[in-house]
Structure 1
Amino acid sequence: MRTFLLLCLVALFPTVLMAQKITGAIKGTIYDSINDYALQSASISVYKQSDSSIVEFQLSNTSGEFDIKNLPPKVPLYMIVSHTGYRPVIKNLLLDSLNLSTDFKKLFLFQKAENEMDEVVVKAVQPIRMNGDTLEINPDAFKLDSNAVVEDMLMRVPGLTVWGDGTITMNGRKLEKVYVDGKPFFGGAAQTATQNLPKNAIEKIQLYQEKDLSKVQQSEEKTDSLYAMNIKLKADKKKGMFGKIGAGYGTDDRYTGDGVMQFYNKRTQAGIAAGINNINKEEGTGENAFLENTFKSNFRVFFGGRGGGADGITRRTYANAKIQHSFSESDNSQFYNRMSADYGYLNTLKNVLTNTTNIQNITQNNSSYKLSNIGESRGMNNNTSNNVKFMYENRKQFGNFVNLTANYTNQFTTSENESTTNVFKNDSTAISTALNRNRSTTVNDNLNMFGFIRSNDAGQLQDPRKNFMLFFNGGYNNSSSNSNTVSRFLSYIDTIPSDLIDRKYNTLNRNYNASLTLNYDGFKSLIFGIYNFFNIDVSLANDISISRSEMDSRVSDLDTLNNLYQQNELLTNNNILTNFSYKPGLSFRKSINKSVWEKYNYWFSMGVELKYQFLNQKNESSFLFRNIDRNFTAFTPNLNMNFSYTKNNAYRMNSYLWANIQQTPASIDQLYPLVDSTNRYNIIAGNPNLKASTNTYGNWNFDINRSKMNTKSNYGASIGLNYNNTANAVSDNLVYDSSGRSIRYLINVAHQRAVSGNFSTRFSTNLTKLSSLNFSYRLNLSTNERPGFINSVSSTSTNNSISNNLSATYSLIDKFNITIGETIATNRSVQQSANRISSVIRNYTTTGNINYFITKELTLNTSLNYQNNIAANGNSVKVNIWNANAIYRFMQQKAELKLSAFDLLRQNKNITNFVRENSATTTITNGLQQYFMVTFSYYPRKFGGRSGAPPPPPGAIMIVR
């Protein structure tokens, strides 16, 4: 595998070196001719004189400067400099080996007179321009294949990066929202729009900053904003349809079939999707049913093998339908009146074979020994679900913001599982065996409703006393299950070596919940009037919630004497748990901001919320010892701080800190559990004296991104830290018997602590106009400390994990791309008691993926995944998964023939390693292995209709040369 990646890198470097050919450059500074000040965001475009095709383009920075490179020598060119409200400037260029660089020094633009119009002769189209505070990209300036989609064009815009996971960034800043004509497009996923809509259907693409309406605390400050992209369709392309119909068959009776059709017009969007496959493809759930079947004219990221490595072997059948209707034709993404509805059907039949090795290090009588649990299991699970979702949103400038969401899910599940577990002491002495067989049927119905009403922005400005937000949530769940468990336990040490249990369960659960939250942000104005109270905002908050859980459980055991099932009086019970919580509170917030024109701006905000919780918990049970009625009170404050700093044409920083305190009482099953004897190796013994736990949580995030115009490189980095301390935490006193069984006696310990952090960075650079290099790195680390006891001996378990993930991608647009990655993960558990015992597991994963576009019609793909998993016992499992694909498109790329080869080396398996407290677990699950498949797909596409001669495109330069 390492050799393979080295060869890839060796092949890559000549390509990069060849790309570094001799090019020319021009630079200068744009000024206002009258006031003699620099003009920011002037558009500078360079064209070939022969055909007016675009060569390069830029926007001037905050100092009016531009620096355009990669210009071809010995080619007649001309440059157009334009800015809203000014007459354009035209310069002819001819760069040669003696004069590869031209400095125009100062270029003055003259303001247009009132009502002045140019003589209308269309000579060129501006690729990008600033229209107020909105950056506009003009698709007509990009000469691409007739089948090109939006994503193909975005990859050619300087400063804009389309990453492998579908994320889009502009000058290092992530585009959080993607709209089409100001509306979410089929759910709002960026790929649905960028990989389906053709470039020639787009009038312009707008990039701008908008208010983040997902924030609970609404504010006009910049940290409450996000970067958005709006794709504006041409007037004759505001209706259309696109989709995919495909089917494939392969060796070992592998098959796949899918169909997707999506329709839209000015107000309505509708889509249907259906499919079936037995190759572990995970499409069919929500957005995946549509995202996995986008048109994608360029296989920059290959989706064909996704899902192939999932656990077990799964047959999946699905059907989805969705509709979104806008009651207004407004294309303003901030003001709307619309509804959407979704329906999904999914059936999965999953066959899983699992081998599990669990190693426990145990201290007893000042000595230690090792227990090894070796398990094998086989399971068949059949799950059918129906899901319906409805959402209504209404936001007007002079009306309250209303949102209502309802979701209903029905599930029917049948499962059969068989397992065998053998326990060994110090790897040599067999001490027990457990055999289990379970069959179950479960029916579940769940309904949830959520919504909020928020006062409108205009009303808040006119009368702050009207500023409020009301949240409401309610739900109902009903589930019933019937199961039969047969459990046989064999002990090779105890005096009673054999034990057999044949038990039936019939359980009915009903759950109800409702909550209401009112935040009244006009409290300050109501109390203090016009007095600004040191510019501190004061809000009144009230949270009320109630939940009720009803359970009716009937358990019976087989009486082997008369072969009849008799009711088990120790487990058969009725139980009703009711929780009522009320949290009143006040919140205080103060903001500070400052800006210096064309230099920098910053904003700092600090908020404190003081809440007090009143909680009543009542449990009613047919077992008298489980009847409790408890009241808790707790002070539950939280703190949050925001900081934002932007240095013009340099970088942008954001930081966020949040902390809170919560109290969690022990549950009824921790206080008075009902012990089921079929759970052979992990029995829980309750403790009625458990105290409520107090959790202190803190989270800090910081990110920095380059924010510079006219640069070929962008980078960004982020850091996150999480801290969690639980006082009076519930922990275990594990007591093991001679057969390897454990009883967990629950106890309170002084504290449990967990700290985690992450660091990520991204870097992208354009080597040439058509080639780019992207790097990404992510580090995750965590540590947690869990005090407890093992066999009544104090034992503190410390778990540490660290994961490094590095990925690099080189792309030569429309020709070639390669991605290589490396992941190194280590988990270590240290058990500190009378003896110090350490367990370590390590996972290494190396990946490589290559796409080579032989022609516009033919693409070759190959990927290799190398895994090396080293378990706690030192055993190493190595796996190489090699896949390959060939894709040929014809009939104007609407038809596709694909040849796929999965797991060419027949090594696919699923391996997971897990360390917790005094145990380390390795699980190996069966997976899909080698098959070859032929797939045919057809992509029906139609956007708009025929029309007369179109008007000049937006951004066209109207000049006489």
Structure 2
Amino acid sequence: MKNFFCIVLLWTIATLTWAQTPATRVTVQGRVVDTASAPIPFSTVFLLNPKDSSMVSFGRANDNGAFTIRNVKQGTYLFKISSVGFFDHNQQLKTSDKTVEDLGTIKLKPITKELIEVVVKTAKAPLTIRGDTVEYNASSFKVPPGSTVEDLLRKLPGVQVDQDGSIRAQGQEVKKVLVDGKAFFGNDPKMATKNLQAQAITKVQVFNDKTEQAKLTGVEDGKKEKTLNLELKEEYKKGGFGKVTAGAGPASRVDGSDIPMRTEIKGNYNKFDAKQQFSIIGLGNNTNQTGLSWDDYQDFRGSNSFNWNDNADFGFSGSNRFIYFGNDDDETLGIPIGGSQGRGFTNNAAGGLNYNYDTKKTKLSTSYYYSQTQLSLNSQRNRRTLLENGGQFRTEEVTNQFNFSGNHRVSLRFEKQLDSTNTLVVLNNSRLNNGNANLFTRQDLYRNSVDISTRNTTNTGNTLQQFGSATSLIYRHKFKKKGRSFAASGTYQINTNDADRLLNARNEFLQATSANDVLRIINQEQGTVSQRSQYKASLLFVEPFAKKYFWETFYNFNLRYDEVDYDVFNVGDASRTRNDSLSRYYKNNYLFNRIGSSVRYSFKGMNISAGVAGQQFTLDGRFAADQTAATFNRINRSFTNVVPNISLNYDMKNNRYLFAGYDVGVQMPSSRDLQPIIDNSNPLYVREGNPDLLPQLGHNLNGGFSYFNPGSFTNLFFNLYGTYYVNQIVYSQTIDPQTLITTTRPENISGGRNLGSYIGFGFPLKKTKATLNLNTNFNFGRNLTRINDVLNETNNRNYNFRTRLELTPKDWLTFYANADWGIINTRYSLNTSQNQRIYNTNYNGDLNLKFPGDFYLNTSMNYRIFKNERLGFNQQVPIWNASAYKILGKAKKAEIRLTAFDLLNRNVIVSQYAGQNYVQDERTRTLARYFMLSFTYNMRGVQAKMRKNGYF
């Protein structure tokens, strides 16, 4: 293991030395002008390999047309200059013994109508830079046949793909990935990059897109979203293309799984043309590859399925245009989801369809996605809980669960441009979920390191059915006066839930003083039937009252009805009786009104907005043990808040951006937290509500700066953010000194705060050959909660440092390495002797080699280290994967691959966490060593033999 990282270090040093050795290097310089000798600013200059036109180095002219390319190895190159509106300049360049190769003044011919028919056959420019847009010519960046778009992105200068598939470009996270300018399976960028083939792409464009709010109003708000667009080759628009893979192989029995074989099958098919896109994907496996996007996971949890990117809630720019309620997921008796990040053992199946239709006046995007997962999960958890008197107790927990979840999701977006001034948008997102789970838990509680004080064994069986749908209508109107606009929206949303639980718990209090308290048995049937309906409307009017000033006024209306029937029955040997102390029926009606106004200044990249809104929230609730009760308890609350909003966005030109803002976020208490309901699903950790809760206010302040140099591909991103909480909703604890049963109850406490920052810096060690990215982020949090009525202050100081090295010196060799160091420093006011320092370290290396005869080798090593010196916790997990594959056939459409996963047979999921008054670590058994032989066939450029205007 040490040798592996020594090699990485030596390679890095060699690369740095290679990149900075001046003795055998020259500097190429010159000046670009037009035929009238006027300078052509910001032209892109390339040095290409004359054999295959691959990019060796590049640069960019300044505003006077002068360019410089440093550290050029002596040799022969194809020298190329590209600029928008001019014909490319191409010449052969052979460097001399001079340290500076001055090419003098180079003139470019403008593209005119007389010359437009001239065909110039030459090497394509590997990339083109237009303002803040970088366009890559995909054919200039070589990847093996059958590679995905994700593999192609790893080759592009200035683009970084993390291990989980997340994309960063020019130092910032990519929010959207489009295919020919259209959405692909919703808003999850990974759906396109992991499923589309690299060879279908002709260009990759990275640019800063406007926010949906700016597109709606026509007023620039200064905010940008990093967006990536994949442009398809013409032949892939005329026919179909896709990919199918099937594989199987033996599995190790050491991981505890009973499955002797690992199998998988997956595929996709796409058919695109200028107006329409049709895609189908599917998968099935028992290799922990769920194929779920984040939206699927959220929908299964029962969250809103509305697509926020269309901004049907008008108001201040930023997240606080929305109305936030607390987390109501607990009402659903939802199935525990423990299969994220490859935990446990899963059998998975998923499939989906996506269809887009796009013309100048009509745009339709719709998709259907189904996924199902069977999960077997076994975990061990150790927790130390701190008490108010300086004491503590320890919990050892073992859980075994088997879950099934099925999820249908449908989305639709229809946009119609009625005329030049009016636009109508219809949105619908719907989901249907069902599932069941069986959970066994054993918890042993120790007052000291030897004697067990309390033991709990619980068996739980859950079934669940959920339905959710949100439909929105948005109308936009632009007046003849430039900048004046009006928008209106209406939304109806419904969520239903039908859940049942069988709870059987045995609690043994081994140190009880009374014989009657030694054993408590719970045998219950619990059921929830709930329905949530929501009606929303928003209005927005924008009026320019001066050349540089805009007045924006908005109104939000929100009416929500909640009805929940929660029934608990005690089950005996021959009886079934209702438990009125735990059962509850309640109705909550929420009414929300908000009106606000702001003034915006927008001129030459400077965008400043300041405004204020007044909002009123009213709750009319009633509850009783049963809906047939003669009398109901009432919860009638009304809250009024004044919410300020200030934002600054400054485009300083030359790809430099400055931003800052201040706002106040308001979070309403959840319906679940407001009800005085006792939840004993975990008999040793009981929860109850608080009808006296107030809304939580958060004063948010943020600011930052970003910079990208398109000539050197150096990027810098910095931000600083902070929040101070007033009436923060926290969960205080009361711990019984005899039984150690913890009862938690929400309450309001002011004084919590959070401060953090992120700094990212990336630069090429050698252009197109080696890139180094460095980033760090820190977070300081102050959390307050009461433990047995004593206020505890938990201070967390989290530090993370990361470095990533990307080496692509040759087409036949690529190497990626990254190192992550995380430190969690936690301090407790109740018991300073239990202060913790947790270390989470991750080293990762990925090597790809191409051999003659279309043979390829990929090997990766992931080495994770978890330490907590205070508790003597030290876990090291090395994961070594390798695969060898060969491309088959003259057309290179087939591939056969042998993969070995976890060759060292050491895979286990480990996590550490420090909470408000506890610290815990967890180990979960998961998929370990297995081998797989797979076959892949790529369908490429299938010609469509249909009538000219037909689609199928």
Superposition TM-score tier, normalisation by shorter sequence: 0.7 to 0.9
Amino acid across the alignment from 1:605: I
Show the counterpart of 1:410. 432
After superposition, the CA RMSD in angstroms is 4.0
Q: 2-side partners of 1:419 and 1:143: how far apart?
A: 52
Q: 2-side partners of 1:801 and 1:508: how far apart?
A: 40
Q: 1-side partners of 2:456 and 2:892: how far apart?
A: 58
Of the three residues 466, 474, 479, the one matched with 1:445 is: 466
Show the counterpart of 2:262. 255
Amino acid across the alignment from 1:818: F
Alignment of 1:419-438 (within 5 A): 419-438=441-460
Do the aligned residues in 1 keep the contact of 2:695 with 2:727 (CA within 8 Å)?
yes
* 1:655 and 2:654 matched: no
Amino acid across the alignment from 1:514: Q
Show the counterpart of 2:308. none
* Residues 851 and 52 of structure 1: CA distance in aligned 2, closer, same or farther (over 3 Å): closer
Show the counterpart of 1:606. 609
| TM superposition score normalised by structure 1 | 0.82
Show the counterpart of 2:10. 10
Show the counterpart of 1:646. 652
Amino acid across the alignment from 2:521: I
Do the aligned residues in 2 keep the contact of 1:186 with 1:270 (CA within 8 Å)?
no
Show the counterpart of 1:796. 792
Do the aligned residues in 1 keep the contact of 2:847 with 2:858 (CA within 8 Å)?
yes
Show the counterpart of 1:494. 513
* 1:505 and 2:525 matched: yes
Amino acid across the alignment from 1:824: W
* Residues 717 and 499 of structure 1: CA distance in aligned 2, closer, same or farther (over 3 Å): same
Do the aligned residues in 2 keep the contact of 1:280 with 1:308 (CA within 8 Å)?
no
Structure ID, larger Rg: 1
Show the counterpart of 1:66. 67
Show the counterpart of 1:299. none
* 1:845 and 2:841 matched: yes
Show the counterpart of 1:28. 30
Output one character per residue of 1:788-838: Cα deviation in whole Å (capped at 9) or x when no partner.
242x5x3323131413131322322433333333333344443335x6443
* Residues 420 and 162 of structure 1: CA distance in aligned 2, closer, same or farther (over 3 Å): closer
* Residues 93 and 587 of structure 1: CA distance in aligned 2, closer, same or farther (over 3 Å): same
Of the three residues 600, 611, 618, the one matched with 1:590 is: 600
Show the counterpart of 1:725. 725
Q: 1-side partners of 2:129 and 2:382: how far apart?
A: 62
Show the counterpart of 1:634. 640
Output one character per residue of 1:447-486: Cα deviation in whole Å (capped at 9) or x when no partner.
2214341425xx2453766422425241231313142424
Q: 1-side partners of 2:779 and 2:509: how far apart?
A: 42
Show the counterpart of 2:40. 39
Q: CA deviation at 1:840?
A: 0.8
* Residues 163 and 593 of structure 1: CA distance in aligned 2, closer, same or farther (over 3 Å): farther
Of the three residues 882, 885, 889, the one matched with 1:884 is: 882
* Residues 151 and 729 of structure 1: CA distance in aligned 2, closer, same or farther (over 3 Å): closer
* Residues 82 and 692 of structure 1: CA distance in aligned 2, closer, same or farther (over 3 Å): closer
Amino acid across the alignment from 1:630: N
Aligned residue pairs total: 886
SS of residue in 1 equivalent to 2:639: strand
SS of residue in 2 equivalent to 1:40: coil
Alignment of 1:109-508 (within 5 A): 109=108, 115=114, 122=121, 125-127=124-126, 176-185=175-184, 187=186, 210-213=209-212, 218-221=217-220, 223-226=222-225, 228-239=227-238, 240-252=240-252, 253-266=260-273, 267-285=275-293, 310-316=342-348, 318-326=349-357, 328=359, 330=360, 336-346=362-372, 348-364=373-389, 368-394=390-416, 398-440=420-462, 442-456=463-477, 459-462=478-481, 466-496=485-515, 497-508=517-528
* 1:520 and 2:540 matched: yes
Amino acid across the alignment from 1:831: Y
Do the aligned residues in 2 keep the contact of 1:67 with 1:710 (CA within 8 Å)?
no
Do the aligned residues in 2 keep the contact of 1:446 with 1:478 (CA within 8 Å)?
yes
Q: CA deviation at 1:765?
A: 0.5
Q: 2-side partners of 1:577 and 1:890: how far apart?
A: 65
SS of residue in 1 equivalent to 2:6: helix
Of the three residues 822, 825, 834, the one matched with 2:822 is: 825
Q: 1-side partners of 2:214 and 2:465: how far apart?
A: 33
SS of residue in 2 equivalent to 1:5: helix
* Residues 867 and 352 of structure 1: CA distance in aligned 2, closer, same or farther (over 3 Å): same
Of the three residues 867, 870, 887, the one matched with 2:868 is: 870
Q: 1-side partners of 2:446 and 2:469: how far apart?
A: 48
Q: CA deviation at 1:881?
A: 2.9
| TM superposition score normalised by structure 2 | 0.83
Q: 1-side partners of 2:464 and 2:128: how far apart?
A: 58
Instruction: List alignment gaps of at least 5 residues for structure 2.
Output: 253-259, 298-338, 947-952
Output one character per residue of 1:196-249: Cα deviation in whole Å (capped at 9) or x when no partner.
767776665556554332559745437244455544445444132112221222
Q: 2-side partners of 1:700 and 1:4: how far apart?
A: 41
Q: 2-side partners of 1:113 and 1:675: how far apart?
A: 76
Q: CA deviation at 1:353?
A: 1.9
Q: 2-side partners of 1:17 and 1:426: how far apart?
A: 57
Do the aligned residues in 1 keep the contact of 2:530 with 2:565 (CA within 8 Å)?
yes
Q: CA deviation at 1:544?
A: 2.2
* Residues 237 and 437 of structure 1: CA distance in aligned 2, closer, same or farther (over 3 Å): closer
Q: 2-side partners of 1:911 and 1:49: how far apart?
A: 51
Do the aligned residues in 1 keep the contact of 2:730 with 2:785 (CA within 8 Å)?
no
Amino acid across the alignment from 2:711: N
Show the counterpart of 2:575. 565
Q: CA deviation at 1:192?
A: 6.2
Output one character per residue of 1:735-760: Cα deviation in whole Å (capped at 9) or x when no partner.
422232234466554x2403141313
Amino acid across the alignment from 2:265: D
Show the counterpart of 1:303. none
Do the aligned residues in 2 keep the contact of 1:5 with 1:820 (CA within 8 Å)?
no
Q: CA deviation at 1:564?
A: 1.0
Show the counterpart of 1:302. none
Q: CA deviation at 1:630?
A: 0.3
Show the counterpart of 1:542. 556
Amino acid across the alignment from 1:462: K
Do the aligned residues in 2 keep the contact of 1:275 with 1:284 (CA within 8 Å)?
no
Q: CA deviation at 1:48?
A: 7.7
Amino acid across the alignment from 1:610: A
Do the aligned residues in 1 keep the contact of 2:158 with 2:169 (CA within 8 Å)?
yes
Amino acid across the alignment from 1:897: I
Amino acid across the alignment from 1:681: L
Q: 1-side partners of 2:763 and 2:261: how far apart?
A: 40
Q: CA deviation at 1:147?
A: 6.9
Of the three residues 807, 811, 828, the one matched with 2:807 is: 811
* Residues 603 and 361 of structure 1: CA distance in aligned 2, closer, same or farther (over 3 Å): same
* Residues 609 and 495 of structure 1: CA distance in aligned 2, closer, same or farther (over 3 Å): same
Output one character per residue of 1:554-590: Cα deviation in whole Å (capped at 9) or x when no partner.
41231xxxx2123133346451322221313121122
Do the aligned residues in 2 keep the contact of 1:634 with 1:663 (CA within 8 Å)?
no
Q: 1-side partners of 2:261 and 2:400: how far apart?
A: 22
Q: 1-side partners of 2:728 and 2:366: how far apart?
A: 46
* Residues 44 and 702 of structure 1: CA distance in aligned 2, closer, same or farther (over 3 Å): closer
Amino acid across the alignment from 2:818: G
* Residues 130 and 700 of structure 1: CA distance in aligned 2, closer, same or farther (over 3 Å): closer
Q: CA deviation at 1:907?
A: 2.9
Q: CA deviation at 1:270?
A: 2.7
* Residues 61 and 634 of structure 1: CA distance in aligned 2, closer, same or farther (over 3 Å): same
Do the aligned residues in 2 keep the contact of 1:377 with 1:419 (CA within 8 Å)?
yes
Instruction: List alignment gaps of at least 5 residues for structure 1.
Output: 290-306, 526-530, 595-601, 948-961
Q: CA deviation at 1:58?
A: 5.0
Show the counterpart of 1:298. none
